[in-house]
Structure 1
Amino acid sequence: MHSTALRSTALALLVGLQPAQAADGLGVAFVHGTGAHTNALRDYWQPAIIDSVRQGLPDRRNYVVINCDFNQYMWKPKAAGCLAGQLSGFIESRGITRLVVITHSNGGNVVRWILSNPTYDRRYPKIIQTLQKVTALAPSSAGTPLADAVVNGSTFETLLGWLLGLRNDAVRQQQVGHMATYNAQNLYGTGGRPALPTPFRAVVGSDVDSAPTDADSYCGGYAANLGLEFTRNWLSSCSDGFLDCSSQKAAGTVWFTDTARTHGAEPLSHNQSRRACFGLGTLLRDDLTQ
């Protein structure tokens, strides 16, 4: 009887330890959008949102900020290949057993490429197996008319250079018609296509505030928000200045639309959805272990 009690106690302790041990293997990766980055922590995200989110990790060292060349088409070695290499290295070096990816804008398309094409690269299956969920901030899942405007050389092409770059392959990829083709043939998660193998949840930006007298217009940079207010003229009434809401909602599921959960029901411009604006960092932090 005594040995049975000891075995029961040992089993209870073992079972009790399992959640903690699993939690220690939780990690988060931040995947930037369009652009060739060598320091996305500073130049794309900024430390405030990274530091806010990683407070939700059992081990706050278990995070990585990806630096790749997402001016390329999503499947290229410098894009998805680079992302796969950095995610694989992070998983291996930190002993990650459950990975959360937080991505922004076109980064969501690169992540979807990996999830949709597991046999394309020998590193993809391990990443997919480890990936618990993707939180896609303002993903360009159905492209943007602004990419069409840049590629077609419209009169305001130069005004969009700060936002998109000029006619690189990632911009060509994000043309509305091109994304429709990729979604129909190469990517999962949109209507009528197979589901993605892991949850892909979008945070949708629905508007831009740029009134100079409104303090909220300055979060993320007033000049950027003013520019996004201008580009909304070429988009639908529900847009973040770069993407229509319909594009952001096109793949996976919607986690929430900005005003439903942000402090003060504030909208998130395309620039603000990658910054610590209106409680976004806290929302992402609290969701890590959900």
Structure 2
Amino acid sequence: MRSLMLALLWAPLAMADPGLVFIHGTGKQTNALDDYWTREFVDSVRQGLPDPSRYLVVNCDFDQYMWDDQAAGCLASQLTGFINQGNDSLILVTHSNGGNVVRWILSNPTWDGRYPSIINATHQVIALAPSSGGTPLADAVHNGTVFESTLGWILGYDSDAVKMQQVSWMSHYNQNWLYGTSGRPTLPTAFHPVIGSDVDSAVWDSDSYCGGYQYQVALEVTQNWLDDCSDGFLECRSQSAAGTPWFTDTDKTRGSEPLSHHQSRRACFNLDTLLRNRVEELL
């Protein structure tokens, strides 16, 4: 009898047609596959699916506030289209601010008529370096010195989305609009962050070149505004503010290497393999 009950519990998931969705972070994307994630990364992770062709790379304007129609509305439209193609059990892989846009949808089912179906179809969210608690860099860009504001502009951090990611602003959203943080209702689906803890940019260290050495150098500079435990853009406590962490980079990466904010969307230090194996386990 016990075996029969377990089989019945697992049957709906086993019968579902799983799909994998990659959701980018801050920025207006028209070709996120090549410009944000890289084909190497996406092609590696999607091999964890029974049918690797069942995947979607989202392209939206995440320079907007998370609830904006160009952000959450665009994401809802693309996810709905993907579900309507027969993908009725979704694993969402988000990066950075993409986790906030997804949390908006999961936390506000009555905001948009498309949200309930998306919530019902979403099996799990794997949130790579999510900015759940905001970042002091956003505060520096909008409220800091001329140098800090200029630095933010050079790095492309001047937008409504970055304004939204100021620490006090995200605290307000977390307390009033979003689920998954301490003292708030839990999210309707599992939300598991992967936390980046440091930036390596030593010129003699080959690991510093994964994903592009220039990005490591820039993130090493911006890390000066953050706690010691950070990925160069987000502090660890922000990344772990919502949901239940899956792991901190050095606990599972090859050679216990840290993942900078840029490297956490690249095939660096077996991150893609970890994600691919996770997809297989979930299905």
TM over 0.5: yes
Supply the distance in 2 between the matched residues of 1:111 and 1:162 (Cα, whole angstroms).
27
Larger-gyration structure (1/2): 1
Supply the distance in 1 between the matched residues of 2:154 and 2:128 (Cα, whole angstroms).
20
- 3-state DSSP class of the match of 2:139? helix
**Contact 2:141/2:151 (8 A) holds in 1:** no
Identify unmatched segments of 5+ residues in structure 2.
Answer: 1-7
Task: Report the alpha carbon displacement of residue 97 of structure 1 after superposing the two structures with TM.
Answer: 1.9
- Within 5 Å, give how 1:107-122 maps onto structure 2: 107-122=98-113
Equivalent of 2:70 in 71, 78, 81 = 78
Supply the distance in 1 between the matched residues of 2:247 and 2:14 (Cα, whole angstroms).
31
Supply the distance in 2 between the matched residues of 1:82 and 1:264 (Cα, whole angstroms).
39
Deviations along 1:44-90, one digit per CA (max 9) or x if unpaired, are: 11111100001011111100000000000000100000000000001
Number of the residue aligned with 1:9: none
Q: Give the AA of the match of 2:47.
A: Q
Deviations along 1:200-229, one digit per CA (max 9) or x if unpaired, are: 000000000000110000001100011101
Number of the residue aligned with 2:185: 194
Supply the distance in 2 between the matched residues of 1:19 and 1:117 (Cα, whole angstroms).
25
Number of the residue aligned with 2:197: 206
Answer with 67-76 or 152-161: which moved more.
152-161
**Contact 1:22/1:97 (8 A) holds in 2:** no
Supply the distance in 1 between the matched residues of 2:262 and 2:109 (Cα, whole angstroms).
31
TM-score computed with the length of structure 2 as normaliser: 0.93
Number of the residue aligned with 1:11: none
**Contact 2:138/2:157 (8 A) holds in 1:** no
Q: How many residues align?
A: 271
**Contact 1:208/1:240 (8 A) holds in 2:** yes
Number of the residue aligned with 1:228: 219
Supply the distance in 2 between the matched residues of 1:202 and 1:162 (Cα, whole angstroms).
28
Task: Report the alpha carbon displacement of residue 158 of structure 1 after superposing the two structures with TM.
Answer: 2.2
Equivalent of 2:27 in 24, 35, 49 = 35
Supply the distance in 2 between the matched residues of 1:120 and 1:142 (Cα, whole angstroms).
22
- CA root-mean-square deviation: 1.4
- Within 5 Å, give how 1:171-182 maps onto structure 2: 171-182=162-173
Number of the residue aligned with 2:48: 56
Supply the distance in 1 between the matched residues of 2:155 and 2:239 (Cα, whole angstroms).
17
Supply the distance in 1 between the matched residues of 2:220 and 2:50 (Cα, whole angstroms).
39
Equivalent of 2:114 in 116, 120, 123 = 123
Number of the residue aligned with 2:88: 97
- 3-state DSSP class of the match of 2:48? coil
Matched, 1:216 2:207: yes
Identify unmatched segments of 5+ residues in structure 1.
Answer: 1-14
Task: Report the alpha carbon displacement of residue 21 of structure 1 after superposing the two structures with TM.
Answer: 6.3
Matched, 1:141 2:132: yes
Number of the residue aligned with 2:4: none
TM-score computed with the length of structure 1 as normaliser: 0.91
Deviations along 1:88-116, one digit per CA (max 9) or x if unpaired, are: 001111x1121000000000000000000
Task: Report the alpha carbon displacement of residue 162 of structure 1 after superposing the two structures with TM.
Answer: 4.6
Q: Return structure 1 stretches of 4+ with deviation > 2 angstroms.
A: 18-23, 156-165
**Contact 1:38/1:67 (8 A) holds in 2:** yes
Deviations along 1:12-38, one digit per CA (max 9) or x if unpaired, are: xxx9xx689626x11110000000000
Matched, 1:69 2:61: yes
Equivalent of 2:15 in 16, 22, 26 = 22
